[in-house]
């Protein structure tokens, strides 16, 4: 690479000097005559060495100097090597050879010029690419097929803290925590098979021992049909993930705020009933026991609502076995007053043993977001259908899990909006929404290793939206970032 850059730079400097360009043919022809005189082997076919002179002139100085070199070569051949042209004693054969030499020299000079231009363009392209790689904020590096680092840009130095001299030659695994060793081996194995490892998130180690959350893309480097190594682009996404986490927490607080009025209403009703029952118990001793039993039920109802609210807000860093129908019923019970006043009919169809391993608070937020969206979409009443069943996802290794469908007969989502539905800050509710609910919901589903799909219609009389969620039985617990 360094030799190629040196040659390209030398050629460029020579071509930029006009005096050197047009003096060069005289110098080259002079050297050629000297070589011809000192090397008797060339006497048998002098055209070969002069043709080589034309090629050198075209390669290093351009097409016009090569034409000058051709003219000087013809004069030299005619006056010094063959019988002098001035005596007109040159044979027909020599004239034909000279004419052929001119044609071949011009063609050769043109070809040499094109090749030189192609090499120069390639050199300039390599230089631009090298500058782009070197100036990139992302870490860009390459390795051999065995995993030894061969290139290391300034972005990699900034990200990891190792200089180029410290990194070159070392195995790529030194950047990964000990528990990620198999991940490195798996990626190298895929690359050696010619596969790409597209954007995925993992942890790497800096020189100071701290961990950094990164996103990596790996591609094979080929030499012909053989995979000779790999190139990787590594991006630090710590700040991005921190910002996303702040947005998630803000959306969670926003959802909790929207639930506050509902919670107040749901708690106020049993509190009023409790106050009435206690009043009756004080003034009617004969039925005191019955009134206290009813009061105890109201206290249990308040306790249930409070536990649900705490479960929604409280963070959980461990998964637990959750019953999906029970969780959805809790949310529907919380919004029962809104469903009744909005003339929304709820249709439920649950299958037994619809349990998943997941994070309780996040799954409550997922189903609350989707159910609230459905309720908000039915301003003039309608039907809300919630189906929960066991199922399999055949497109991803035939995983078993739970399927949840939430359908409404609301106003629907226009086709132009469907492409932006899961983007942050996109909302169809105008001033009512933050535009983060579905983005957060998609993140929760992906965190649990599941999938979420949506279908919608806006046709009058048959409008509505349905969300299909698949949650696998087992959720992988992500590694914490130090």
Residue 383 pLDDT exceeds 90: yes
Residue 7 pLDDT exceeds 60: no
CA distances from 99 to 54, 193, 197, 305, 441 (A): 15, 56, 60, 103, 81
Residue 479, pLDDT score: 41
Where are the strands (E) in 99-163, listed by range? 139-144, 149-152
Q: Parse the chain into domains and list their residue ranges.
A: 2-134, 137-236, 238-314, 318-482
Cβ contact 171:148 at 8 Å = yes
| Nearest alpha-carbon partner for 211 in 172, 176, 171, 173 | 176
In CATH, the architecture of 137-236 is: 2-Layer Sandwich (3.30)
Q: How far apart are CA 388 and CA 402, in angstroms?
A: 7
Mean pLDDT of the chain: 79
pLDDT tens figures, 314-332: 556 678 888 999 989 888 8
Task: Decide: pTM greater than 0.85.
Answer: no
* Cβ atoms within 10 Å, residue 54: 29
327 Cβ neighbours under 8 A, 6+ residues apart: 360, 363, 364, 367
CATH number listed for the domain at residues 318-482: 3.30.565.10
pLDDT band (50, 70, 90) for residue 136 = confident
Residue 446, pLDDT score: 87
Phi-psi region for residue 412, left (φ > 0), alpha (ψ -120 to 50) or beta? left
CATH number listed for the domain at residues 238-314: 1.10.287
SS3 state at 201: strand
pLDDT band (50, 70, 90) for residue 334 = confident
DSSP 167-183: HTTSBGGGGS-GGGHHH
DSSP 300-367: HHHHHHHHHHHHHHS--SS-EEEEHHHHHHHHHHHTHHHHHHTTEEEEEEE-TT-EEEE-HHHHHHHH
């Amino acid at each position: 690479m360094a030799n190629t850059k040196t040659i390209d730079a030398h050629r460029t400097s020579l071509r930029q000097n006009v005096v050197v360009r047009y003096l060069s043919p005289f110098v080259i022809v002079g050297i050629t005559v000297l070589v011809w005189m000192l090397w008797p082997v060339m006497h048998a076919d002098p055209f070969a060495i002069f043709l080589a002179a034309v090629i050198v002139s075209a390669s290093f100085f351009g097409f016009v100097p090569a034409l000058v070199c051709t003219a000087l070569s013809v004069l030299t051949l005619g006056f010094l090597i063959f019988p002098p042209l001035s005596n007109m004693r040159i044979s027909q054969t020599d004239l034909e050879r000279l004419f052929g030499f001119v044609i071949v020299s011009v063609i050769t000079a043109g070809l040499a010029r094109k090749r030189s231009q192609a090499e120069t363009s390639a050199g300039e392209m390599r230089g631009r690419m090298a500058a782009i790689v070197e100036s990139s904020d992302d870490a860009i590096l390459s390795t051999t097929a065995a995993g030894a680092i061969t290139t290391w840009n300034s972005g990699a130095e900034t990200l990891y803290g190792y200089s180029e001299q410290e990194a070159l030659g070392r195995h790529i695994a030194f950047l990964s925590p000990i528990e990620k060793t198999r991940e490195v081996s798996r990626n190298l194995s895929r690359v050696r098979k010619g596969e790409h490892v597209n954007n995925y998130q993992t942890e790497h180690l800096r020189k100071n021992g701290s961990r950094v959350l990164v996103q990596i893309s790996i591609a094979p480097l080929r030499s012909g049909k053989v995979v000779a190594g790999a190139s990787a682009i590594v991006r630090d996404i710590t700040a991005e993930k921190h910002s996303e986490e702040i947005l998630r927490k803000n959306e969670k607080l926003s959802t909790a705020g929207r639930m506050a009025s509902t919670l107040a209403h749901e708690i106020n009703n049993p509190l009023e009933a409790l106050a009435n029952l206690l009043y009756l118990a004080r003034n009617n001793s004969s039925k005191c026991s019955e009134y206290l039993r009813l009061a105890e039920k109201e206290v249990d109802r308040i306790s249930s609502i409070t536990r649900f609210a705490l479960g929604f807000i409280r963070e959980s860093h461990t998964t637990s076995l959750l019953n999906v129908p029970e969780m959805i019923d809790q949310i529907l019970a919380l919004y029962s007053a809104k469903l009744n006043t909005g003339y929304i009919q709820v249709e439920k169809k649950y299958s037994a043993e619809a349990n998943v391993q997941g994070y309780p608070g996040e799954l409550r937020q997922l189903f609350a977001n989707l159910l609230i969206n459905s309720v908000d979409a039915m301003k003039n009443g309608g039907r809300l259908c919630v189906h929960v069943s066991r199922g399999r996802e055949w497109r991803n290794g035939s995983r078993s899990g739970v399927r949840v469908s939430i359908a409404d007969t609301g106003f629907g989502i226009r086709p132009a909006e469907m492409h932006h539905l899961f983007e942050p800050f996109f909302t169809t509710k105008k001033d009512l929404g933050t535009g983060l609910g579905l983005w957060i919901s998609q993140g929760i589903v992906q965190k649990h290793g599941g999938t979420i799909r949506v279908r919608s219609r806006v046709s009058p009389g048959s409008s509505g939206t349905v969300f299909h969620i698949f949650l696998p039985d087992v959720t992988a617990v992500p590694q914490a970032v130090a």
